[in-house]
Structures are given as structure tokens and as C-alpha cells.
Structure 1
Amino acid sequence: MNRTKPVVTAAEIQKDLMPLRRRGLLRGGLSLGALTLLTGCDLSTHSGVDAALEAMLRFDDEVQAAIFGQDRLAETYPASALTIPFRFNAYYPEWEVPNVDPNWHLAVSGLVADKTPWSLAALRALPQTSQITRHICIEGWSQIGQWSGIPLQVFLKRVGADLRARYVNFTCFDGYSTSIDMASALHPQTILALVFDNQPLAPQWGAPLRLRIPTKLGFKSAKNLQSIEVTNRFPGGYWENQGYDWFAGV
């Protein structure tokens, strides 16, 4: 099988990741001594800590991007492996799940030929695929769910996206956002999910449309999508801007 190369190199992506800090990782368990051995930095100042964490973040993302490819698939499972009940997860409690605007349309912007907003009916008319894959949370737990929806690569081609662009950015009407590189967007398992557990998405699962990307940690699978932007500008994201891994591969 031919391996599809990333649209941009890991080194190019790292230039955009430079401003991010990962102080949370330091608090999460790595000792100052270990950081000193890894980086050779003087960690007695904040600048030393920042330099060490930047180096670790660059290395981590570069390794993940280097081994990523269209033929590296997340594991799939039989229906008998489904997690029941499936656990709700968001950056807000379940009783604050937002309502869906009955006039909701998906906005499309950036480096695309057709910026016409998409209705739910129009999205449902596109080719669909289904997967039973594992949702892996950065907090350490995981569960298996069944998702169906539009391969993101199909949608991007339909709107005439520039597939040479670096990033695809997702913003949500609940205030969330995330972004991925174009190679991850074109991965065959990356979908715009309309269905969960053989039912139309309910609000707690991200209605009316969510990103589902099983090759990355769960916080990348943004719920309640409002817009998709194709861009060469590094977009960051809600958690990424607070120090989480940007590539976030699993």
C-alpha cells in the first residue's frame, strides 16, 4: 500500500507550535531533575522551565507527526465491545449542554471554493461511513462507541478546499474550538459524525454535528460544530492554548 505523505512536514508545524507552553505537563509528573537531564537547561528560572517544556512539546508533536500516515488506522471493534452506558464528557457539566438552534447551518470559510453554509439535510445527503472505535480521554479513561457520518475528506473535496493548506480549524457554538493538520483531516477515519449508536446525535453527544477522529485523543473530537475553516494560519484550540498537546495522536 502506498503511504500518503503529510501535506506539510512536522518541522514546519513546529514553527507554529513554538508560542505554546506546557506547564501542565510539568505539574503532571515529570520532575525538574528529569527535565534537566533531558534538556540540559537551567531550570532555576521560569525561562529555563519554558525552554525545557517547549523542547519536549516540539519533540512529542514531531514524533507523532512523523509516524502518522493514511495507512495507520485506529483499531476497530465488534458491536459486542460497545461501552454501555457511554460516558458523557465535556468541559462543562451535562446539565449545561447547549440547545441546538433550529435554524442551525454549518459555516465554511477560509481556503475553500464554495463558502455556502450547509443545512443538516444537505449534510445527510453526502456519502456516509460508520466506525466502532475507542474514545481515549487525556484524563486516562477510554470507552468504545459507534459513530456514523461523512468522511471529512469527502466534505473538504466537495467544498473545493485547498488540500495543500496546513490546517483545518473547528469552532463550536458551545464556545469550544480545536484544529488539526491537513493530513489528519484527510485520514480515512476522520469523520463529521451525524449519528451515535445508530441514532441521530443527541445534544449530549454533540448535536447536530461533531468531529470524530479516533487517531487522536478525545478532546480533538469537537462537539456542536458551528464552522469549519481551512487555513495556513495556526489556529490553536481551547485546550491546546492552555498547554495540551496540539497533535494529540494516540
Structure 2
Amino acid sequence: MSGLFSRRRFLGLSTIGASAMFLSGCDRLAQNEKVRNVLDMAETLTKTTQRALLSQGALAREYPEADISPVFKVNGTSMPDGEEYARLLEGGFADWRLVVDGLVRQPLSLSLADLKNLPSRTQVTRHDCVEGWSAIGKWTGVPLSVVLEKVGLLPSARYVVFHCADDLGQTLGGSGRYYESLDLVDAFHPQTILAYGMNGEDLPVAHGAPLRLRVERQLGYKHAKYLLRVQATDSFAGIEGGKGGFWEDFGYEWYAGI
């Protein structure tokens, strides 16, 4: 077992253990203040430990193309409901736009062609799902840092929030639409990309077409799919359920480092 793999497993234990508790039907425990405090402490420990062991620019392991998984399971939604997404899909996403706004100097609305004209990165990495499976895929997209530098973050920006087209129909004070977020350390990490390609082809619908987030040092639920908007903010207050992510609103850890 390689040293990198050992560190990734060690760093992921607290996140996987806590999240698995919710997946197994124990989400009611999130209402228990003592349990919630323990989980918050575990999340802080995971984040602190990973940031201490790995430099901010340390890369997740990348694999040769020969290691790409023949089957890559779908995580989360496989096809968003709603007429709007269906219309965009039927038009080949020609009318789709990624809005980048919030605490930025120059808000933008970018087409898929605009994104493909920006500098790109291709990486073959392993996707680790909180449900216990993993798969290796090849991803191509524009580094998130390139987009953020293009709009220019204001000094008050602390987080980047990703708003998505898939509606899970559940809510704790939000719209029910999927969303996720990163701090600026992970937002500017070289392997954090807005991916429009998978395994040498356009991103399939089941894997988030036309655009998804890849943040290779965190678990799969952080890899938001069907992106519509990227928002720079100083706080999660007032954004959906206020915890920084759809599953986080239901008790998952916000920091899902592996």
C-alpha cells in the first residue's frame, strides 16, 4: 500500500464513518446536540489533519489511462427533472450558461464554448463515494482558478458555492436543488476543475452534463453536477439550508477530505 493511499484512507476514516451513520438511517441523530458536536469535532480534525499533512498544492494521485474503470457508477442524480433542463439537453446545451457572480469584480455568463476556449486540464483520478465504492475516470475541464481569476474575487470572498439543476425534492429551508461549496484553498487547487469531458468524450448526462465540479481531494458528494451558477460569498447564511451543501444541510460533514 502506497504512502499516499494510506494517508488518503486515514484522512477519510472520520468523514466516511460519520456520513455512513446518516446513510444507514440514523439521520435523526443529527437532531441530538451532543452527537452533532462530536461530528463537528471530527470534521474539524479531518480538515486540520489533512491540511497539516498535505501542502495546499499537494495533488491527489493520478493514474495511467490503462487504469480507467470499465464501469463508473453514477453518483446522485442520473437525469435532472424539469422542462428547463430537458430543453437545454434537446438543444445540445447551446443555450446553457454558467453564471459566475457574487463577490466578484466582473460577473460573467459563460457558454460551454466559452469554457472550452479557456485553458484546460485533463486528469485521471479516483472518485471515492461515501457509499463505499470507487472508480477511476479521465476528466477534462477548465481549472476553477482560471474562471475565478477571470471574474476577480473581492477581498471579502471566502467561499465558492455551486448551484445545480438537479432537484432532489427534499429541503431543510432551501429550494431542494443540489448545491455544494468549497473554501478558497480547494477552489484554487490545481486539480479542482469544471469538467465538461469524461474519458475522452463530452460529459454524459448521468455524470453531470454539461458541466460538473471535480475536487479530487474530497468525497464524491462534493463533486456537484449539472452546474448552473458559481457564486463567491463570505458566508453560507441565506443560501439554501445554510450549511454549505445539500447533504450538509441534512448533517453530512462540510469538509469531506480524503
Q: TM-score normalised to the size of structure 2?
A: 0.74
- Alpha-carbon distance in structure 1 between the residues aligned to 2:228 and 2:75: 19
Bigger helix fraction: 2
Structure 1 residues 65 and 232, CA, compared in 2 at 3 Å: closer, same or farther?
A: farther
- Alpha-carbon distance in structure 2 between the residues aligned to 1:78 and 1:227: 32
Q: Partner residue of 2:190? A: 188
Secondary structure at the aligned position of 1:244 is classed as coil
RMSD: 2.6
**Could you tell me which of 112, 133, 140 is aligned with 2:104?**
112
Report deviation, 1:25: 6.0
Q: Partner residue of 2:246? A: 238
Letter in 1 for 2:165: F
Structure 1 residues 100 and 108, CA, compared in 2 at 3 Å: closer, same or farther?
A: farther
* Percent of residue pairs bearing the same amino acid type: 40
C-alpha distance after superposition, 1:186-224 (max 9, x if no partner)? 001100101111111121111111101111111111110
Contact 2:98/2:227 (CA < 8 Å) preserved in 1? yes
Bigger Rg, which one: 1
- Alpha-carbon distance in structure 2 between the residues aligned to 1:148 and 1:46: 42
**Could you tell me which of 81, 86, 111 is aligned with 1:99?**
86
- Runs (4+) off by over 6 Å: none
Letter in 2 for 1:229: Q
Contact 2:120/2:140 (CA < 8 Å) preserved in 1? yes
Point out where structure 2 has 5 or more consecutive residues left out of the alignment.
Answer: 1-16, 25-30, 167-176, 237-241
Q: Partner residue of 2:69? A: 83
Secondary structure at the aligned position of 2:257 is classed as coil
Secondary structure at the aligned position of 2:110 is classed as coil
C-alpha distance after superposition, 1:95-123 (max 9, x if no partner)? 66763624211111111112121111111
Moved more, 232-241 or 204-213: 232-241
- Alpha-carbon distance in structure 1 between the residues aligned to 2:207 and 2:128: 15
Letter in 2 for 1:116: L
Contact 2:80/2:165 (CA < 8 Å) preserved in 1? no
Q: Partner residue of 2:44? A: 58
Structure 1 residues 26 and 211, CA, compared in 2 at 3 Å: closer, same or farther?
A: closer
Q: Partner residue of 1:10? A: none
**Could you tell me which of 208, 211, 214 is aligned with 1:209?**
211
**Could you tell me which of 122, 128, 136 is aligned with 1:130?**
122
Point out where structure 1 has 5 or more consecutive residues left out of the alignment.
Answer: 1-21, 30-44
Q: TM-score normalised to the size of structure 1?
A: 0.76
Contact 1:99/1:203 (CA < 8 Å) preserved in 2? no
Q: Partner residue of 2:199? A: 197
- Alpha-carbon distance in structure 2 between the residues aligned to 1:153 and 1:167: 13
- Alpha-carbon distance in structure 2 between the residues aligned to 1:26 and 1:133: 26
- Alpha-carbon distance in structure 2 between the residues aligned to 1:28 and 1:204: 22
- Alpha-carbon distance in structure 2 between the residues aligned to 1:109 and 1:150: 17
Letter in 1 for 2:60: A
Secondary structure at the aligned position of 1:99 is classed as helix
Structure 1 residues 164 and 150, CA, compared in 2 at 3 Å: closer, same or farther?
A: farther
Contact 2:19/2:130 (CA < 8 Å) preserved in 1? no
Secondary structure at the aligned position of 1:227 is classed as strand
- Alpha-carbon distance in structure 1 between the residues aligned to 2:180 and 2:138: 22
Q: Partner residue of 1:38? A: none
Report deviation, 1:162: 3.1
Report deviation, 1:68: 4.7
Structure 1 residues 161 and 81, CA, compared in 2 at 3 Å: closer, same or farther?
A: same
Secondary structure at the aligned position of 1:173 is classed as strand
C-alpha distance after superposition, 1:124-183 (max 9, x if no partner)? 110111000000001111000000010111111011123662100001011210001001
Contact 1:61/1:247 (CA < 8 Å) preserved in 2? yes
Report deviation, 1:52: 3.1
Contact 1:164/1:182 (CA < 8 Å) preserved in 2? no
